[in-house]
Amino acid sequence: MSLSHIAKTISASPTLKLNEKAAILREKGDPVIHLGGGEPKSKVPMDAIIAIAAHLNTAEIRYAPADGIPALKKAIIRYTEEFYNRKVNVENVIASGGAKQAIMVALQAILNPQEEVLYPAPYWVSYPEMAKLCGAIGVPVYAEDGTFYPRIKDIEMKVGPYTRAVIINSPNNPSGAMYSEEFYSDIVDFCERRELWLIMDDIYHRLLFDGKKPINCYNYAKDLTENSKLIVINGVSKQYAMTGFRIGWAVGNKKVIEAMANIQGHQTSGPSVLLQKAAVGALNGIQSSVESLRVTLENNRNVMMDLLKSFDGVNVTKPDGTFYCFADFSNYEKKSNKLSEFLIDKVLVLTVPGGEFGLEGYLRLSYCGTIKEIQEGIERMKWALDPNSPNELYIGDRKLVRDWS
Ligand SMILES: Cc1ncc(COP(=O)(O)O)c(C=O)c1O
C-alpha cells in the first residue's frame, strides 16, 4: 500500500498498545497485573467534575479559541507564577490536547526536516516519533558514566550543526530520576549560549519524593525576554490524575506560541472546551489531591524498591519522583522485549520493555497502581524468573506450572 514515508516510519505507542493488551486480557477474565501503566489511579478532583458538569448542563458546547479559553490561560498564568515565580502574559501561553500535543506543536514550530533534537536517555517513548513526524531526527544522549543523570559534557558531545533543540524531562519517565540543580543551570546556560531551543517537559514536576522540591528552570535563565528559547511544558494528566481529559500546555515566547497556535488551529482547532473547563476547575480548586497522590506514590515507590531487593539479579536506581522505576533485568534476559513478552505470557504481568526508552535489558515498572497490585506483580515476576522458585504458583484458583527453567 502506498503510505507516506512518515507513516511507514512511525510505530504505535508501546504504552498505549500495552493498555489495549491489558484491557483485552481482562475482558477475557485473565487476572492481569498492569505494571506498565502511566496514569494514577486516584479520582479526578471534584472541582474539575463540577466545572465540566456545569458547562455540559448549558447544552451549548461550542468551538473555543484554538490556543485555549481565556479562563484556562488565566489559570496557567497563575500556575506559572505560583510554581515558577514567573509572570507571563496570555500571549505566552497555549493550552493543548495533553502535554503530548503541546510538545508536538512546539517541535513542529521549531524544527525543519533533517534538523536534530537531543534528549537524554532513557527518554519518553514519544520523543523520537515526534521528531520523525516533523521530518527531523531525534538524538538520544547517553550519560558517559552509565547513570540516568546526564552531564552537560554528554549533551555537548552530541550537539552538531543540525542541532536545534534539547528536550529535558525531569523527573524522568521512565527512570524517575530528577536531574541536579547544577545540570539545570548548565543546560539552560548552554542552550542560551548556543541559541538552541530548550523544551522542559515538566509534566511530573510536583510528583517528587524524599522532600525534594521542583527545580525551576527560569532561575537559571539570563534571557527572560521575548527572545528566550525556553519552552516549559506542563499539564493536568499526571498531577491531577486527569489523563483522560487530555489537557496540557506550553509557556514560551510570543512568536513561538503564536506559531504553535496556528499549527494547532489547523490540526484540531484546540482541545474541547468541556475538558478545558475541567482543567480550570482542577487548577483553581482545592489542591490537596496533588499532595495526597504524591504521598501515595512515594509510599508505593518504597514498597516496590523493597520488593525488588529480593531479586538476586536486578539493579535499580531509586526514583526521585514520577511513578516509574527503570530496573536492569539484563542478568535474566538481555532483550527487554523478549522478557516483557515472557512475563505477560507466563504470569500475566505487564511491563514496558526498556528498549522502547532507549536502553536494552531494562524494564519500566510502574507503581501507580495499588500496593496489592505491586506486591502481587513483583511476586509473580520473581516466581517466573527465579530458577529456585517452587514448581507451582496459584493466581486465585488458577494453577500455573513452570514449564521453563
Ligand atoms: C514525559 C512525558 N511527557 C509528556 C507526557 C504526555 O502527557 P499528556 O497525557 O498530558 O499528553 C507523558 C505521558 O506519559 C510523559 O510521560
> pLDDT digits over 288-328, tens only?
999 999 999 999 999 999 999 989 899 999 999 999 999 99
Atom of ligand 1 nearest to the CA of 236: 10
Contact present, 166 and 119 (Cβ < 8 Å): yes
Tell me, what DSSP letter sits at residue 189? H
Instruction: State yes or no: pLDDT of 173 exceeds 90.
Output: yes
For residue 99, the CA-to-ligand 1 centroid distance in Å is 6
> For the chain, what percent of residues have pLDDT higher than 70?
100
In the chain, the amino acid numbered 35 is L
Contact present, 143 and 103 (Cβ < 8 Å): no
Distance CA 324, CA 368 (A): 8
Instruction: State yes or no: pLDDT of 26 exceeds 90.
Output: no
Residue from 173, 297, 324, 357 to probe ligand 1 pocket by mutation (most atoms less than 8 Å from CB): 173
The per-residue DSSP string of 348-373 comes to: -EE-EEGGGGT-TTEEEEE--S-HHH
Distance CA 14, CA 238 (A): 18
pTM, full prediction: 0.96
Residue recorded with cell 483522560: 244
Residues touching ligand 1 (Cβ under 6 Å) are: 38, 98-100, 124, 169, 173, 201, 203, 235, 237, 243, 248
Q: Which residues pair with 119 in a beta bridge?
A: 140
Instruction: State yes or no: pLDDT of 17 exceeds 90.
Output: no
244-254 pLDDT, tens per residue? 999 999 999 99
pLDDT-based confidence at residue 273 (cuts at 50, 70, 90): very high
For residue 332, the CA-to-ligand 1 centroid distance in Å is 30
Residue from 203, 247, 325 to probe ligand 1 pocket by mutation (most atoms less than 8 Å from CB): 203
Longest dimension (CA), the chain: 66
89-125 pLDDT, tens per residue? 999 999 999 999 999 999 999 999 999 999 999 999 9
Instruction: State yes or no: pLDDT of 243 exceeds 80.
Output: yes
For residue 384, the CA-to-ligand 1 centroid distance in Å is 31
Residues belonging to the chain: 405
What residue's CA is closest to ligand 1, atom 16?
173
Contact present, 169 and 357 (Cβ < 8 Å): no
Predicted confidence at residue 22, as pLDDT, reads 78
Residue 218 dihedral angles phi and psi, to the nearest 5°? -65, -25
Q: Which residues pair with 169 in a beta bridge?
A: 201
Q: Which residue has the higher pLDDT, 395 or 265?
A: 265
Distance CA 389, CA 369 (A): 25
Distance CA 98, CA 79 (A): 16
Distance CA 340, CA 350 (A): 7
Contact present, 285 and 46 (Cβ < 8 Å): yes
Contact present, 235 and 290 (Cβ < 8 Å): no
Quote the distance between the C-alpha of residue 94 and its chain's center: 19
For residue 185, the CA-to-ligand 1 centroid distance in Å is 24
